[in-house]
Amino acid sequence: MADADIQPIHTVARLLGLRASAIRYYEERGLVEPALRLAGRRWYSPEQVRRLAIIQYWQAYGLMSLEEIADVLAGPKATRGWAEIIEQRITALDEQLREIAGARDHLRHVLSHHENSAPDGCEHYEARLFNGLQARNRTP
Amino acid sequence: MADADIQPIHTVARLLGLRASAIRYYEERGLVEPALRLAGRRWYSPEQVRRLAIIQYWQAYGLMSLEEIADVLAGPKATRGWAEIIEQRITALDEQLREIAGARDHLRHVLSHHENSAPDGCEHYEARLFNGLQARNRTP
DNA sequence: GTGCAAGCTCAAGCCGACTTGAACGCAAGT
DNA sequence: ACTTGCGTTCAAGTCGGCTTGAGCTTGCAC
């Protein structure tokens, strides 16, 4: 019954909505390995499929780079900064949530107040636009 | 007094936290033009600076591609789908907000429940991971 | 008038995340 | 025996968004 769960690359790819080439690429980058190779061909166990799903999930919308995912998946044994990476990510995601919500409201505003004009040249923008700026310019 | 508001490229770049090369690139892609050229050199009015700020704001976090921003900035006169582009973006941003919030909670969970183990191999994941999958696999 | 920093243009390079193409391997069906 | 159809490797290409480098021009200070 255990062997029935093991799947070839295209099956996994189709299940996850990935291309086989992407899976091979993840392997090349050290993120995942097939459970087994038969005559050179890759076979994946449910465990690896889950791992691929995690990779895909974390990587969606560019939330984490493959390298960061690799670090996190390697776990505490391999990476000193494991928890730190995740904490940083959480902070970054919170920031990102605020930014995106702001951008969305901003677009809603454009839609409701500027139906007959290009969206630039409106004073309503100023505040939001340049608030963001001040935040960004603290660093450089 | 109006002329006092007009600024050369590096001043604008510094103000916005951009590189001059990025501003030239935006111009090449048709997103912005200097108000004036003196002996070939670019000078920007507050209007253009605002436009650059908009570009930067919308482009942050890959929320919109430069091409989409160009379309939206071109306005109703130039683009039939102006409002549609923005509506699509709003929808996409809402979706993105949900995804990112989910990912953040997910990471929080990893942090609190897996301090001593690699984050894969945990059943808590399954639901969220494969829910997302089902959504993604409706299309292909 | 001589330097030299800053600007300009144009082409090429870079990064991440893949995809694509060429050339080949292996196993099953007819 | 041979074709079909995935599979494999490795190198090179693609895309977006810039950056960098070469080679030339300008503006300003001394």
β pairing state of B7-8 and B36-38? unpaired
**Residue B10 contacts strand D, CB under 7 A:** no
Angle B96-B59-B50 from CA coordinates, rounded to 5°: 130
Query: To the nearest whole angstrom, how far is the Cα of A22 from the nearest Cα of chain B?
Result: 16
Question: What pLDDT score does A44 carry?
Answer: 96
Question: What pLDDT score does A22 carry?
Answer: 96
Say if residue A124's pLDDT is above 80.
no
Q: Which helix (H) or strand (E) holds B44?
A: strand B41-44
Range from B33-37, B67-71, B83-87, B113-117 that averages highest in pLDDT = B33-37
Q: Who wins on pLDDT, A120 or A107?
A: A107
Bases along strand D below 7 A from a protein CB: 6-9, 16-20, 25-27
Q: Which residues 12-41 of A have a C-beta within 8 angstroms of B?
A: 15-17
Rounded Cα–Cα distance for residues B34 and B81 (Å): 26
Record the pTM.
Answer: 0.79
Q: What's the average model confidence in pLDDT over A73-83?
A: 68
Say if residue B65's pLDDT is above 60.
yes
Q: Who wins on pLDDT, A3 or A43?
A: A43
Q: What's the average model confidence in pLDDT over A13-18?
A: 92
Closest nucleotide to A55 by C1' from CA: C17
Q: What's the average model confidence in pLDDT over A104-122?
A: 69
Rounded Cα–Cα distance for residues A62 and B63 (Å): 11
**Residue B17 contacts strand D, CB under 7 A:** no
Q: What's the average model confidence in pLDDT over B45-74?
A: 86
Query: To the nearest whole angstrom, how far is the Cα of B97 from the nearest Cα of chain A?
Result: 6
Backbone angles phi, psi at A36, to 5 degrees: -160, 150
Q: Who wins on pLDDT, A125 or A106?
A: A106
Residues of B in contact with A119 (CB under 8 A): 54, 72-73, 75
Confidence tier at A36 by pLDDT (50, 70, 90) = very high
Confidence tier at A114 by pLDDT (50, 70, 90) = low
What mean pLDDT value characterizes chain A? 80
